[in-house]
Amino acid sequence: MWRAALPLLLLGACDSPPVAQSVMQSSPGTGEIRPVKAPIGPAFPAPDRPVASIASATWSDEDARDNDGEAEDVIRRLGIRPGMHIADIGAGSGYYTIRLSPVVGLTGRIVANDIIPDYLARLRKRSADKGLTNVDFTLGDAGDANLASQSVDLALMAHMYHEISEPFALLWRLQDDLKPGGRLAILDSDRPTARHGTPPALLRCELAAAGYQQIAFNRLENGRYLTVFQPTFRPDPGTIRPCKAN
């Protein structure tokens, strides 16, 4: 999961361009984590809403989620199949990473992404213990997932969008990381961001401001929803206007 505020990693927190950050990125096909340098980029507006804090790497008990059929339902609705390359953004303890890996198979790839190095280290060990060989690990920051250009068919943000402190920067840069026709799927709860959810109307507004169009929306049980977006244009960062939460 993504922590709400990491002062040294915030992009666009002031009017001047951010200083380039030293980050870590996986070496494709090896599961190793290697250092790269994030590029200096334009400033983006902060969201006009509360950003949720994070208490742990796990959103909820994994057995309970499996008993509810959460991952199975999400995988079916998203049409995930062998050979796909998927980024699990805000992977945390790896609930989706572990379950997506066997679905995409040896011809596919999962990129487990987070901004907390310790989460990735623990997930890397968990993946190794389970014998998963198609998982790479990438350390992002608040405004950039730091994925390879045009590398993923699907980016998944599960129960973490409300924790992103620089959503417009992250979404804008994510357009580079999606393959042509690639999708962004967001799983969240329909409640205020301060209560660890995102109202669907607010989510659509923020994604539209970053150049995305909603192409699917599914109401799930217990106030949750799964929505899918695709980029349609790339706005000038200076024209992006934050959306107000009602």
Per residue in 12-53, pLDDT (tens digit) is 333 333 333 333 444 444 454 433 434 445 689 999 999 998
Residue 222: predicted pLDDT = 87
Q: Which residues does residue 136 pair with via DSSP β-bridges, in sequence order? A: 111
Q: Quote the number of domains for the chain.
A: 1
Q: Which two tokens stand for residue 34?
A: 């290697």
**CB of 66 within 8 A of CB of 20?**
no
Closest CA relative to residue 174, chosen from 184, 166, 164: 184
Domain annotation covers residue 224 = yes
Domain annotation covers residue 57 = yes
Confidence of residue 10 (pLDDT cuts 50, 70, 90): very low
Residue 245: predicted pLDDT = 83
In tens, the pLDDT along 107-157 reads: 999 999 999 999 999 999 999 999 999 999 999 999 999 999 999 999 999
DSSP class of residue 131 equals T
Domain annotation covers residue 225 = yes
- State how far Cα 187 lies from the chain centre: 10
**CB of 219 within 8 A of CB of 225?**
yes
**CB of 168 within 8 A of CB of 205?**
no
Instruction: For residue 128, give the CATH number of its domain.
Output: 3.40.50.150
Domain annotation covers residue 140 = yes
Q: What is the mean pLDDT of residues 187-205?
A: 96
Domain annotation covers residue 66 = yes
Domain annotation covers residue 8 = no
CB < 8 Å & 24+ apart, contacts of 23-27 = 23/139, 23/140, 23/141, 23/146, 24/117, 24/138, 24/139, 25/138, 25/139, 25/146, 25/148, 26/111, 26/136, 26/137, 26/138, 27/136
In the predicted structure, residue 8 carries a pLDDT above the cut 70: no
Q: For residue 144, give the amino acid letter.
A: D
Domain annotation covers residue 36 = no
Domain annotation covers residue 11 = no
**Structural domain span for residue 93:** 45-239
**CB of 68 within 8 A of CB of 223?**
no
